[in-house]
Structure 1
């Protein structure tokens, strides 16, 4: 392990104290945050700039900004982006980047330790992690439990190689697997705990299968419209896993294998579908609680907006699975919706919102999740006969 000229140890202690004061660092993880050199996992990275308009990212390295500014950025509660669009960065001459999608990062530490704390570890726990990334969260678990108890899976070979080198510099040698994490970790045993640091549209059955009965799975569910939230599931008997959402805010990058199709398909023509009035406008897609419910109603859909020939705003909702569509257009103080295809998409949203309102408009953390082989549901009130929504089943898992 190497330390830069500035006292990184002191910065880690200062950072841990800040997180503790903000009640963002569970006591069980403070020693790991103080010990693990995050700068070894993120020697170079990008952060978003503060300029208005299209999001742009600026590179941060020791050479570009100086050792102190670089280290202080590393030891802050910030996500450090290390890859865009699945392509490696030329760090010999890094340039500002815009119009790109982050695909690998070191997630903000407060979220990392929140998820790790949700695993409810003891000293004997074994863990499978999906999404090694920079290796920082892997290193925290190695410090807490010992590297021999940790298996971590990364789908991107270049990212995996860099994480392996970083963990070696930190002094840890866990079992690292490069491959499709949705298919499992190829374990010869079952882990006591499973954690995923990327978003998934549904819980891969392999994660349940490779977690011991009574064990926990902590992961973020998300869709193509938005994140749903962080869930914690108990694996009951190898055939079922049940639990609930424990946080609604985390929005991890979606698993590479589950990204939305690049081609959105053909836009509906102006004469396609049937038009009707609706009391539900497209703002429900972006609001925190109603957006959660809308995502449940539209598991295979994406939305975007564009003006029509008269300059009026149109909001499109397109379903990638069945080519159904909904087009919303402002009409005075209300909205018109034009729907077509085998599923009335906006009617699904309206019905889901009505069920949610009838239940008292509960927060996401009041929703439960049930996972079986070939079937997954999010539900309200109770798993047997309460309102429920199907989640996509992860193929090949």
Structure 2
């Protein structure tokens, strides 16, 4: 057994012991697909750097293979262009724009998709190709179609997938438009996040088929939803337990932000502790309430900046020990967030698994508890 084989076996054993790998078929896929083929190099964060610096790690470097088989996400591209190539620079800065997601999440999502033998899957976001290869091993290459937005990323993924002996259908294009040439699909899985479920997905997946996608936004709230298509263009589903986050699909990313200047505005005491929106689900609820805003800050000192209108809201300590909010602009962002957080808190501040989603001719709506409960519209 080679070192890579031993490390792969150890990773699979650990994921099985942790309860991540529960399906023998996916356990076999994880045991067979060599993750190292898809990660000849990656970026590693430079400890203590500010802004965050990244140094390249290559297959000839000590610790490279061990890192590949550690259950972690490995960044493979910054700012949509910078790669950890062997002849590239040393430490660099930038925003991660492509990565190999931690194996536990990839395998957990494939299992959550509830895919069966003979079913056809459309994967949105090929990335390094590791997830695609797992799907091709489990279902057969002819059953998997994967689409990647970035041509350079797609080229590298295709080469790696070919080295491992799989031959799924690989497409370069806008994953938000799906791939109509291959429809209908039984399942769709997205390895990027989206602000709303794109309409083409709802028509390319057959009625009764399932869509697994992470809903996110410009305030970095995330919720993983499993939907069943009820008829062309319509679906319903629930958000799943756990904590899932992905880079947002580039067409859904926020507009470029100019430097922020905080302006004076109307002041009043807050009705909620602003730290409530630092909670995983609380921050997501705040994002549902103000979908065109970006959230900055931490703890009790929060800042909301709306990209559509320039509206602002920020919280600051009050002399009496409470919190004051200062709001400016046509949207009262904190009013919207505050009302939504209060509705969530009245229900006991539950995790996202208590939320559902309905998509029909009346739009896309997230609801809490039941369809008659508190409701928020997604920014379609």
TM-score normalized by structure 2?
A: 0.93
Q: What does residue 58 of structure 1 align with?
A: 55
Alpha-carbon distance between aligned partners in 1 of 2:208 and 2:84, rounded to the nearest angstrom: 45
Q: What does residue 391 of structure 1 align with?
A: 378
Deviation at 1:239, TM superposition (A): 3.3
User: Among 108, 116, 122, which residue is 1:122 paired with?
Assistant: 116
* 1:364 partnered with 2:352: yes
Deviations 1:107-154 (CA, angstroms, capped at 9, x unpaired): 000000111001111111100000000000000000011111110010
* 1:234 partnered with 2:223: no
Q: How does 1:168-179 map to 2 (within 5 A)?
A: 168-179=162-173
Q: What is the root-mean-square deviation of aligned Cα atoms in Å?
A: 2.1
Q: Is the 8 A contact 2:58 2:86 kept in 1?
A: no
Deviation at 1:269, TM superposition (A): 2.9
Q: Secondary structure of the residue that 2:379 maps to in structure 1?
A: coil
* 1:12 partnered with 2:37: no
TM-score normalized by structure 1?
A: 0.89
User: Among 136, 154, 165, which residue is 1:142 paired with?
Assistant: 136
Q: Is the 8 A contact 2:56 2:84 kept in 1?
A: no
Change (3 A) 1:264 1:280: farther
Deviation at 1:10, TM superposition (A): 2.6
Q: Is the 8 A contact 1:47 1:79 kept in 2?
A: no
Larger deviation: 199-208 or 127-136? 199-208
Alpha-carbon distance between aligned partners in 2 of 1:181 and 1:379, rounded to the nearest angstrom: 26
Larger deviation: 31-40 or 225-234? 225-234
User: Among 265, 276, 301, which residue is 2:268 paired with?
Assistant: 276
Deviations 1:69-119 (CA, angstroms, capped at 9, x unpaired): 222211121111110010132513344545411110110000001110011
Alpha-carbon distance between aligned partners in 2 of 1:356 and 1:315, rounded to the nearest angstrom: 19
Q: What does residue 217 of structure 2 align with?
A: 223
- How many aligned positions are there? 377
Runs of 4+ in 1 over 4 A off after TM superposition: none
Q: Is the 8 A contact 2:241 2:351 kept in 1?
A: no
User: Among 35, 39, 45, which residue is 1:38 paired with?
Assistant: 35
Deviations 1:220-241 (CA, angstroms, capped at 9, x unpaired): 1111112321110000111311
User: Among 288, 299, 320, which residue is 2:307 paired with?
Assistant: 320
